[in-house]
Structure 1
Amino acid sequence: MLLSQYIGEAGRPQVVAREGSEAYEVKSDASLYELAMEAAGTGTSIRDHILALGLNGAVDLEDLQSQGRLLPPLTHPDPAHLHLTGTGLTHLGSASTRASMHSKKPEDETDSMRMFRMGVEGGKPGNGAAGVQPEWFYKGTGHALVPPGGPLKSPAFALDGGEEPEIAGLYVIGRDGMPVRVGFALANEFSDHVTERQNYLYLAHSKLRPCAVGPELLVGELPGSVEGTSRIRRGENVIFEKSFLSGEANMSHSIRNLEHHHFKYDLFRQPGDVHVHMFGTATLSFADGVSAEDGDIFEIEAGPFGLPLRNPLARPPAETREPLTDIRVL
């Protein structure tokens, strides 16, 4: 089952369920967040909860997408209680991509390569215990979450704005503090790779950018291997197109290990919160020498996730001199 949300006639989120080619409104005025919290409270799967509510008439998701009415599949009524985070160096091949950005000599082993080796050796322990920690980063709150079709706005001080095609896990925290995975969705973990390349310690700065998730959320387990395509469209032309692989068969960490090392912190188990946690990628147009421009459209698609995720880049003219942010003294 695939779940999505769009802006209904009353201005509220309307949840849509799809199995196969047909999509139907769920017989409820509740958002997917509200439905997920209800299911988490009763111990019911989100699929069973939705089927128990029933379905209304069919909807045309592609038409809603063209109208710009699709929302991220899971949101929070207070964006400050939605956390955008992720992990890096989790995919086979991701270390060579990262190392090429930071190493001047091929024979130099970077911190990225060492972190990757740790994941290969201990990221899938398979014995019920936690494996090695992955690289982890913070992107922001729900204020940085962009709907499908919405612009990914690069700040004027940014040195670059590039896509990262990823799969994200979407979670609610139950009233008892238990993390509950609602499902998986495509994500564009938009980042500033030029800033990151200057110095590895700028990674945290490079990640503080908006990101897009959706349009549809896959309920259930993630397939062992997922193959998708990442594109950049410039006008009528495709200036970049490359396949990407995800799923545990193509990763150095298990999903459960990545989840553990995020949710082991009490901070991330606050009842009622939403988490969008991105699992990394090994495919970047930046690594192939592509520099996205204002108006370019990023397009990410993979069969199990339904509609593609498309977002234009909005990049203002670069500032010749970065002005100081105004601070008022009390």
Structure 2
Amino acid sequence: MTSSHPSTVFEATYRGEPHVGFGRADTSAGLVNLYRSKDGLLAQSIVNTDGSADAIRDIIAAGHNPIVVAGDDPELRLRPPLLTGTNGNALLSGFMGTHKKKWDGKSAPDNGEFTPPKWFFKGFGDWIRLPGDDLNVPAEPLALIEEPEVVLVYINDAEGTPHYAGYTFGNDLCDIGLHRRDPGYNPYCKLCDTVVVPLLFLGEPPTTVNGQVNIVRNGQTAWQGEFNCGTDALYYRVSDMVEHLFSFPALRRPGLVNYVLLGADEASFHDGFSIVDGDRVDIHVRSHDVRFENTVTYAASPALSAASA
């Protein structure tokens, strides 16, 4: 990461207690500085300040000295940004068909009525997976696709007003084969696990995001490709998409966290590649020095109990 990128913050539990850290959350090596916190304090500090790193640090660090923890300490567990322990207090959703590449390289006209992109619901906050977790998909998918994306993070205050917190990155794994068979099947298509990086960039949505995907099978690279998912690559303006999305009261419930996926570039599926059970998807966001990987796992369908008479 270069100095041109905004400051970062992350949340974790250490020995079962909530903590907040500033800078990078690298649990694979090195040392991590943590401030003892309480559940939801980071979200409150964003809502009650200008959301800058200095303002947040003033609240988080007040009366606390940081503790230094080994990055590979087994008692250190990272958490998705702003996700508290309350079940269902967050929604993961996103937009489809947002990239210029899917609009013949064009951008939305400055004048005229805004026509919003298609939107999908991916799951609740506790459905989110972290780097290193297995990504479960239904057994026998038609055609899986990895989708490296920018994830915008919002927190609603007590009155339901959304506050932009920052952004991170994720992989919106889905069964594009179902969508291609029938667009009406898209809700089924999205019922695959999604990974979100547990690192919050405290800045405006990034204009430039680029990197590389490596899909590893049996220890060897089976497919490799580049991606670009910054706002400069989008047909739509983010402000228009977000303003329309939050016009729906259901997304403005007090205290609700919204993770909003901005859409993906073309990926392995468009190159004729098929992801299979056991493949490891390694995503390197080179522009921001972020790397995460997850293994795709086919989940067997359970036997359903017979309905009672």
User: If the TM-score is normalised by the length of the shorter chain, which range does it land in?
Assistant: 0.7 to 0.9
For the Cα contact (< 8 Å) 1:2–1:306, is it kept in 2? no
Please give the alpha-carbon distance, in whole angstroms, between the structure 2 residues aligned to 1:327 and 1:139. 29
Tell me by how many angstroms 1:179 deviates.
0.6
**Aligned residue in 2 for 1:292:** 275
Please give the alpha-carbon distance, in whole angstroms, between the structure 2 residues aligned to 1:189 and 1:276. 12
Please give the alpha-carbon distance, in whole angstroms, between the structure 2 residues aligned to 1:89 and 1:206. 15
Partner of 2:179, secondary structure, is helix
For the Cα contact (< 8 Å) 1:153–1:313, is it kept in 2? yes
Change (3 A) 1:57 1:68: closer
Correspondence 1:229 to 2:234: no
The one-character-per-residue Cα deviations of 1:124-162 (angstroms, maximum 9, x if unpaired) are x3x8x9832111111111232112211110122633433
- Select which of 281, 302, 311 maps to 2:294: 311
- Select which of 13, 18, 38 maps to 1:7: 13
Correspondence 1:249 to 2:247: no
**Aligned residue in 2 for 1:88:** 96
Partner of 1:140, secondary structure, is strand
Please give the alpha-carbon distance, in whole angstroms, between the structure 1 residues aligned to 2:54 and 2:232. 28
The one-character-per-residue Cα deviations of 1:157-185 (angstroms, maximum 9, x if unpaired) are 63343311111101111112111111111
Correspondence 1:197 to 2:180: yes
**Aligned residue in 1 for 2:4:** none
- Select which of 33, 44, 54 maps to 1:48: 54
Which consecutive residues of structure 2, in runs of 5 or more, have no partner in the other structure?
Answer: 1-6
Partner of 1:146, secondary structure, is coil
Please give the alpha-carbon distance, in whole angstroms, between the structure 1 residues aligned to 2:69 and 2:288. 17
Please give the alpha-carbon distance, in whole angstroms, between the structure 2 residues aligned to 1:218 and 1:327. 48
- Select which of 9, 14, 21 maps to 1:16: 21
Partner of 2:133, secondary structure, is coil
**Aligned residue in 2 for 1:104:** none
Change (3 A) 1:258 1:311: same
Residue identity in the other structure for 1:212:
V
Tell me by how many angstroms 1:195 deviates.
1.2
Partner of 1:315, secondary structure, is strand
Change (3 A) 1:68 1:25: closer
Please give the alpha-carbon distance, in whole angstroms, between the structure 2 residues aligned to 1:160 and 1:278. 21
Partner of 1:153, secondary structure, is strand
Correspondence 1:121 to 2:108: yes
Q: Which runs of 4+ in 1 moved over 4 A?
A: 19-24, 57-61, 325-330
Partner of 1:77, secondary structure, is coil
Please give the alpha-carbon distance, in whole angstroms, between the structure 2 residues aligned to 1:7 and 1:37. 18
Tell me by how many angstroms 1:260 deviates.
1.1
**Aligned residue in 2 for 1:38:** 45
Residue identity in the other structure for 2:53:
R
Please give the alpha-carbon distance, in whole angstroms, between the structure 2 residues aligned to 1:12 and 1:327. 42
**Aligned residue in 2 for 1:28:** 36
Tell me by how many angstroms 1:307 deviates.
3.4
What root-mean-square deviation, in Å, do the aligned CA atoms of Structure 1 and Structure 2 show?
3.0
Residue identity in the other structure for 1:5:
E
Change (3 A) 1:297 1:68: farther
For the Cα contact (< 8 Å) 1:6–1:71, is it kept in 2? yes
Residue identity in the other structure for 1:214:
V
For the Cα contact (< 8 Å) 2:21–2:35, is it kept in 1? no
Please give the alpha-carbon distance, in whole angstroms, between the structure 2 residues aligned to 1:301 and 1:294. 21
Please give the alpha-carbon distance, in whole angstroms, between the structure 1 residues aligned to 2:107 and 2:186. 22
Which stretch shows the higher mean deviation, 69-78 or 204-213?
69-78
For the Cα contact (< 8 Å) 2:34–2:69, is it kept in 1? no
Which stretch shows the higher mean deviation, 299-308 or 280-289?
299-308
Q: Return the TM-score normalized by structure 1.
A: 0.79
Tell me by how many angstroms 1:328 deviates.
4.9
Please give the alpha-carbon distance, in whole angstroms, between the structure 1 residues aligned to 2:152 and 2:306. 36
- Select which of 145, 150, 155 maps to 2:133: 150
Partner of 2:44, secondary structure, is helix
Please give the alpha-carbon distance, in whole angstroms, between the structure 2 residues aligned to 1:12 and 1:67. 10
Correspondence 1:282 to 2:290: no
Which consecutive residues of structure 1, in runs of 5 or more, have no partner in the other structure?
Answer: 96-115
